[in-house]
Amino acid sequence: MRYWGLTDRGKVRSQNQDSFFAGVITNPKGEEALLCMICDGMGGAKAGDLASLIARDRFVDYTAEHFRLRRDPEPVLRAATEEANRAVIEKAAESPDYEGMGTTLVALLVLGERAYAVNVGDSRCYLIREEEIRQITKDHSLVEDMIDKGELTREQARRHPRKNVITRAIGTEDRADCDIFPLTLEKGDRLLLCSDGLSNMLNPREMLFEVLYGEDEDTAAQRMVDIALERNAPDNVTVILLSDSEKEGSNG
C-alpha cells in the first residue's frame, strides 16, 4: 500500500499545531505493519504543538513495541491511546504554560487485509471504495451530538459557529476514551486521514473527486491542501492518503 502525508500551518495560524506520522513500524519479533496517524493540538502558543507531538510519538512507540500480526490489535491500540494520554498529562503538570493542553488523535493500523481506525476528537478517517467515500470515524464534537439528537442536519453542522468544540481529547481527562473501527480492505481501496483543517474546507465529495478523478494520485494529497489554502484555510491542514490502487508511484 502506498501512502502520502503532508501538513501546512494554513493562512491564519502563526504556527502548526498538527503533527503526523506515516510509515512502516516493526515490532521486536521483526513483524511489520503500516501505521498512519494525525494529532491536532490545542492549547496556548507553546502547548498545542507540544501536546500533538508527545501524543504522536508515544502512540507510535507503544504500538510498534506491542502489536502482533496474529493477535487482535485492539487492546494494543487502546493501551497506546492511554499511554499517549498519560504522557500529555504528565508533561502538562510540569509548567503553567502547558496547562489545558491537549490534542485530537486519529490513527490507522494496517495489517494486510485488516485495518483498524482509532479516534479521539474530530480528526477523521475516510474510506474510498470504488466511487464512494464514507466517513469511518465519528466525531467527538458538540455538533455531532446535536446531529444525533436531531437538532442539526449535517449541512447545518458544517456552518455552525461551535463546530470546532470537541467533547473528547487526549490529555484533558484522566482516561482517554477512544473508538476503534475494524475494516476489511479490498483491492483498490483508498483511506484518507485528515485534521479538521481539511474537512472544514473540503466536503467529502470534493475529497473523492481529487483522489479518483484528479490529475495524478501521487499529488492528490497536495491538491487537497492547496484547495484549502486557496479558500484561506484558517486552521492548520493535515492529510494522509493511503492507496491500494494499481497506479504506479512511490511512498511519500
Does a structural domain hold residue 247? no
- pLDDT tier at 169, thresholds 50, 70, 90: very high
Residue 152 CA to residue 148 CA, distance in Å, equals 8
Does a structural domain hold residue 176? yes
Does a structural domain hold residue 156? no
The proportion of the chain whose per-residue pLDDT surpasses 70, expressed as a percent, equals: 96
Length of the chain: 252
pLDDT for the residue 141:
86
Does a structural domain hold residue 126? yes
Query: Do residues 74 and 2 touch, judged by C-beta distance below 8 A?
Result: no
Q: What is the pTM of this model?
A: 0.93
Tens digit of pLDDT for each residue in 234-248?
999 999 999 998 754
Does a structural domain hold residue 98? yes
pLDDT for the residue 147:
81
Can you give the CATH number for the domain in which 36 is found?
Answer: 3.60.40.10
Q: What mean pLDDT value characterizes the chain?
A: 93
Q: How many CA atoms lie within 13 A of 191 on its CB side?
A: 31
Number of domains in the chain: 1
**Over 50: is that where the pLDDT of 250 sits?**
no
Tell me the Ramachandran region of residue 205: left when phi exceeds 0, alpha when psi lies from -120 to 50, beta otherwise. alpha
Residue 181 CA to residue 107 CA, distance in Å, equals 10
Residue 79 CA to residue 77 CA, distance in Å, equals 5
Give the lowest-confidence range in 24-33, 63-72, 163-172, 221-230: 163-172
- pLDDT tier at 161, thresholds 50, 70, 90: low
Tens digit of pLDDT for each residue in 211-221?
999 889 999 99
The C-alpha cell 509548567 sits at 95
Does a structural domain hold residue 158? no
Distant-in-sequence, close-in-space partners of 206: CB < 8 Å, separation ≥ 6: 224, 227
Q: How many CA atoms lie within 13 A of 93 on its CB side?
A: 9
Does a structural domain hold residue 206? yes
Does a structural domain hold residue 173? yes
Q: State the Cα torsion 29-35-243-144 to the nearest 10°.
A: 150
Helices (H), the chain: 47-66, 74-92, 142-148, 154-159, 196-199, 204-213, 220-230
CB atoms under 10 Å from CB of 80, counted, come to 30
pLDDT for the residue 128:
98
Give the lowest-confidence range in 33-47, 77-91, 113-127, 216-230: 33-47
pLDDT for the residue 45:
62
- Segment 217-229 shows an average pLDDT of 97
> Which grid coordinates belong to 99?
496547562
